[in-house]
Amino acid sequence: MITYIIRRLIGAVIMLVIVSIVTFAIFFLVPRLVGATPESMASRYAGRTATAETQHLIAQRLGFYDPMPVQYGRFVKGLVVGAEYDTGTSVEKCPAPCFGYSYLTQQPVWPDLVDRSRVTFSLGVGAAVIWVIAGVATGVISALRRRSFFDRAAMGIALAGVSMPVFFTGMISLVFFSYYLGWTVPGGTYVDFTVDPFQWAYSLILPWVTLAFLFAAGYARLTRAGMLETMNEDYIRTARAKGLPERTVVVKHGLRAALTPIVTIFGLDFGLLLGGAVLTESTFSLNGLGKYAIEAIVSNDLPKVMGVTLLTAVFVVIANLIVDLLYAVVDPRVRLA
């Protein structure tokens, strides 16, 4: 087990290195290949009104004239141990992990990512708990009561949930539950968990349910299909023939085997979600990573976009690492060797 974990950790590190190379190439190498000059790249920091001499000086301070391997090495060093930024009048230290400085605010990107990730993490964790419990439970009940009224109604609602985009269900939920009934807080309201846990949950209950409705629908259909296949296996009939309680047969033998694809998809969904729920955060005006990325793209603030990209990659790699370790727990047929 320890050897397997070490192998997976090494694989995760290699994947992060590859992601860093690709990300660096997209933001620094590709512009040079399509004809961008160091001065034009430096003009984003200096502003459009800067003179050619000013752009040249800034390009030199930022190291845009250095060879690409040297620039990539400096980029990785900034992520690991931090970097120093020459403003022309002083040298400012950017602590690790340093994703660079914003074109607009001239401030380090990392503190913004940490601040915004609290909102996204709160949104993602709460929604994930709801959609996993609701989706898996609905799928199991539908499989055990195949072709019943509950099965048909649940799968119909699940189909609607998969079909409707989250910004549509989000807007409908805001209009009906917040502005008409007044049961929930209006959009744009967020209270940090450390300030008031109850208000934190109350401010996020509608985004949680809206986002969970989208994912739970797919999980319900997937769980139902897996359970229908698993409950017809020979070892299920053997377990029943031994006289095991039906609850034990369903939960321990049936559901456990059917959860393997659920765990796989959950790792991908949750990892990507932590990188920013763009539509949900925009619909409910939550200042998370998704909205932060949209604002950065609109303003062409590349360091912010690069920071969100790398942070999302880290979340996805970590989530997949955890999923690989959970395989042997969920399904005993999986062998780590």
User: DSSP 3-state assignment of 144?
Assistant: helix
Tokens 């001065």 correspond to 39
**Token output for 111:** 């503190």
* CATH number 2.60.40.1930 is the correct assignment for the domain at 110-334: no
Query: What stretches in the chain show pLDDT beneath 70?
Result: 1, 47-48, 85-91, 275-276, 328, 331-337
Do residues 224 and 142 touch, judged by C-beta distance below 8 A?
A: yes
Strands (E), the chain: 83-86, 91-94
From 334, 335, 331, 134, select the one nearest 252 (Cα to Cα): 331
* Predicted local confidence at residue 329, as pLDDT: 72
User: Per residue in 148-179, pLDDT tens?
Assistant: 898 889 888 888 887 888 888 888 888 888 88
* Predicted local confidence at residue 218, as pLDDT: 85
* Predicted local confidence at residue 164, as pLDDT: 83
* Predicted local confidence at residue 91, as pLDDT: 65
* Predicted local confidence at residue 231, as pLDDT: 84
Q: For residue 271, what are the contacts with CB-CB under 8 A and spacing of at least 6?
A: 312, 315, 316, 317, 318, 319, 320
Question: In the chain, where are the structural domains located?
Answer: 1-98, 110-334
From 274, 278, 260, select the one nearest 329 (Cα to Cα): 260
* Predicted local confidence at residue 328, as pLDDT: 67
d(CA 280, CA 291): 9
| Separate counts of helices (H) and strands (E) for the chain | 15, 2
Rounded to 5°, angle at Cα 276 from 274 and 139: 60
Q: For residue 334, what are the contacts with CB-CB under 8 A and spacing of at least 6?
A: 260, 327, 328
